[in-house]
Amino acid sequence: MAIIHLSLVDWLIIALYFVAIVGIGLYLKKFADKGDGFFLAGRRNSSWVAGLAFVSANLGALEILGWTGGTMKYGMLVSHFYWVGAVPAMLFLALYMMPFYYSSKIHSIPGYLRLRFDEKTRVLNAISFAIMTVLMSGINLYLMALVFRTLLGWNWNVSMWVSALAVASYVTLGGLLSAIFTEIVQFFLIWFGLFLVSILGIVEFGGLSAIFEGLPTEMAGLWSTTGSAGDNPMGVTWLGIVLGLGWVLSFGYWTTDFLIVQRAFSAKDLRSARMTPIVAAFFKMALPFIVVVAGLVAWRLAESGELTLMMKDDGQPDYNSALPLLIARYFPPGLIGLGITALLAGFMAGQAGNISAFNTVWTYDLYRVLFKKDATDEHLVWVGRVTTIVGILLSVATAYWAMQFPTIMDYIQAIFSWVNAPLFATMLLGMFWKRCTSAGAFYGLLAGMATSFGIYLGFRFGFLSPYATLITMTPNPSDMTMNLWQAVWAWVVCFGVTLAISLATKPKAEAELVGLVKGLTEKTVDKDVPLLRRPAFWAAVAGIAVVALNVAFF
């Protein structure tokens, strides 16, 4: 049964949104007939366009519904996933890794691995990344369908297929260029449509400080309760946050996940590409004022009995329903349509990002390598469009699978620990150590992925439970703690195996590594660029701001 009854104006707003995004895809189709146009948006975007798309591609289910509901469980600790688990890595990508990525003119992260190491390392990463993106896009589809079902009362199957067809239409037509432009539209919809929820909540309680005054101590601080895992609702310590989230998961995701980095590849020049994640970092830094504040408002309302969460089939509260319920509470007719459209925009942005990354990696790093090495540019674009449809169909299948998981947030972090955590060790050694060899990279990456997935299965089936303290530094680790530490161990094993094998095998000649490794690549110092246009300056501003936020909410 629907919890909201939409007026004609609400339906009109939602319908206009869907018509607009399909129209954008039709219009941009003429610019996406070549490979660079379809897969890299023609490398013509400014840092602002690419930066907004960069952060918008991450504004999927994980950000909007997931962390709003997650805040009801974990409180202010969720802000760590922004101020520790995102911004530092985004700045590192901009300053140190983007020059290697952009200058090599690659289409994907696996493409860099081929140039730096060899074909088998590229294929290994391409396969693992393709699987990850399909799993992630399934989650986006599931939660997007959840909005239709929860708010409108639609049937599950109808909700799922409407969501899938809408995304497929504009990504198939316009590729990455279409995805980026719609992501920018979605970015503004998300901010204007959902920031109002937090503002109205703050107004109802009489100020932000009034919301914090009603919170228990363990939910009101960022670091003050992380001395012991038992002192906070997330069940983590500061060491797990710093190493597992702040170092491995964060840097693994923001510097190697092609879904995100692909947006920076679309920038018109290297300076714009470096500015892309820096521009995005400022918006990422501000997102807790939407999702975390909304989650705290929902917690206060639920504690006072003024908000009742929907229940899952197993009788447990569905925290994912928090934001839709707040929209129903605060928005009048007309604004409800805008709020629902903003939610759908968030899911479609994340879904479009997954699918556009999936079709690029499959086309360039698997199909062209394994099946048709002499494929023409036009043929690859055709394959990319077909792959988009296939990716959507696979996403629908994984969406039905995602429905079976009670803790989607923990599930998503587990996926990142399987793929991104070990890959970051490979990329770090590959970019900053010219002695790193192809054999070391391949077997190190394989060992790291196997370690992470092995620890995951070990705790799920119980045979590693007796060793919990040794593995996670906590006798009774929460799911989030296990995710953070399995990421740490995946990184450590990958780093160690890569290092050992590299020292025992022959590296590539330095001439083959020019432009791919630090020390063999021309420095990108902005000699004649004014201070206010230099990436390093704005990265420093962002760094100071994020430190200040951590201190202010300690």
pLDDT digits (tens, 9 = 90+) for 360-391: 777 766 777 667 777 676 777 777 677 777 77
pLDDT at 505: 93
Q: Is the pLDDT of residue 171 over 60?
A: no
pLDDT above 70 covers a percentage of the chain that reads 75
Please give the DSSP secondary-structure letter assigned to residue 315: S
Reading phi first (left if > 0) and then psi (alpha if -120 to 50, else beta), residue 77 is in alpha
Rounded average pLDDT over 399-414: 64
Please give the DSSP secondary-structure letter assigned to residue 317: B
How far is the C-alpha of 174 from the C-alpha of 21, rounded, in Å? Answer: 11
Contact (CB, 8 A) for 78 and 295: yes
The tokens for 515 are 């432009």
The position carrying tokens 């989607």 is 408
DSSP SS3 for 311: strand
What pTM was estimated for this model as a whole? 0.75
User: Of 227-236, 469-478, 522-531, where does mean pLDDT reach its minimum?
Assistant: 522-531
pLDDT at 327: 81
Best mean pLDDT range from 243-252, 336-345, 406-415: 243-252
Q: At what angle do helices 67-74 and 322-330 cross, to 10 degrees?
A: 100
User: Of 113-117, 184-188, 218-222, 244-248, where does mean pLDDT reach its minimum?
Assistant: 184-188
pLDDT band for position 417 (cuts 50, 70, 90):
confident
How far is the C-alpha of 105 from the C-alpha of 434, rounded, in Å? Answer: 20
Rounded average pLDDT over 133-152: 72
Which residues lie below 8 Å from residue 304, measured CB to CB, with a gap of 6+? none
Q: Is the pLDDT of residue 353 over 70?
A: no
DSSP SS3 for 382: helix
pLDDT at 291: 85
Q: Vertex 231, ends 229 and 234: CA angle to 5°? A: 60
Rounded average pLDDT over 73-87: 86
For 231, how many CA atoms within 13 A lie in the half-sphere containing its CB? 12
C-alpha dihedral (529, 535, 540, 541), degrees to nearest 10: 90
Domain boundary assignment for the chain = 8-552
Contact (CB, 8 A) for 117 and 273: no
Q: Is the pLDDT of residue 440 over 90?
A: yes
Rounded average pLDDT over 197-206: 86
Round the average pLDDT of the chain to a whole number and report it: 76
Q: Is the pLDDT of residue 551 over 80?
A: yes
pLDDT at 111: 75
pLDDT band for position 213 (cuts 50, 70, 90):
confident
Best mean pLDDT range from 23-37, 189-203, 336-350, 432-446: 432-446
Please give the DSSP secondary-structure letter assigned to residue 367: I
pLDDT at 492: 92
Compare 70 and 355 and report the one with higher pLDDT: 70
pLDDT at 442: 93
The tokens for 93 are 């990508």
How far is the C-alpha of 57 from the C-alpha of 352, rounded, in Å? Answer: 7
Contact (CB, 8 A) for 276 and 46: no
Closest residue by Cα to residue 267 from 94, 35, 111 = 94
Task: Report the Cα 159 to chain-centroid distance in Å.
Answer: 23
pLDDT at 42: 45
Please report, as a single letter, which amino acid is at residue 85: G
Contact (CB, 8 A) for 218 and 78: no
How far is the C-alpha of 87 from the C-alpha of 426, rounded, in Å? Answer: 21
Contact (CB, 8 A) for 416 and 490: no
pLDDT at 29: 55
How far is the C-alpha of 308 from the C-alpha of 470, rounded, in Å? Answer: 40
Please report, as a single letter, which amino acid is at residue 381: V
pLDDT at 108: 65
pLDDT tens digits, 189-201: 777 777 888 888 8
**What is the residue-wise DSSP string for 101-151?**
HHHTT-SSHHHHHHHHT-HHHHHHHHHHHHHHHHHHHHHHHHHHHHHIIII
DSSP SS3 for 474: coil
Q: Is the pLDDT of residue 491 over 60?
A: yes
pLDDT tens digits, 496-535: 999 999 999 998 888 888 878 877 766 666 667 777 778 8
C-alpha dihedral (348, 55, 428, 412), degrees to nearest 10: -40
Instruction: Enumerate the β-bridge partners of residue 267.
Output: 45
SS in 3 state form for 404-434?
Answer: CCCCHHHHHHHHHHHHHHHHHHHHHHHHHCC
The position carrying tokens 């989030």 is 480
Q: Is the pLDDT of residue 19 over 90?
A: no
How far is the C-alpha of 283 from the C-alpha of 538, rounded, in Å? Answer: 13
pLDDT band for position 415 (cuts 50, 70, 90):
confident
Compare 538 and 27 and report the one with higher pLDDT: 538
Which residues lie below 8 Å from residue 305, measured CB to CB, with a gap of 6+? none
DSSP SS3 for 233: coil
pLDDT band for position 36 (cuts 50, 70, 90):
very low
The dihedral through the CA atoms of 266, 268, 274, 278 has a sign that is: negative
Q: Vertex 240, ends 237 and 241: CA angle to 5°? A: 85
Question: What are φ and ψ of residue 214, in 5° steps?
Answer: -95, 5
pLDDT band for position 457 (cuts 50, 70, 90):
confident
DSSP SS3 for 142: helix
Q: Is the pLDDT of residue 146 over 60?
A: yes
Please give the DSSP secondary-structure letter assigned to residue 506: P
pLDDT at 32: 46
How far is the C-alpha of 551 from the C-alpha of 554, rounded, in Å? Answer: 5
pLDDT tens digits, 250-308: 888 788 776 677 777 767 777 878 888 888 888 888 888 888 888 888 888 888 777 77
Which class is 8-552 in CATH? Answer: mainly alpha
Q: How many residues does the chain have?
A: 554
Start-end of H helices in 287-334: 288-303, 322-330
How many other C-beta atoms can be found within 10 angstroms of the C-beta atom of residue 153?
A: 13
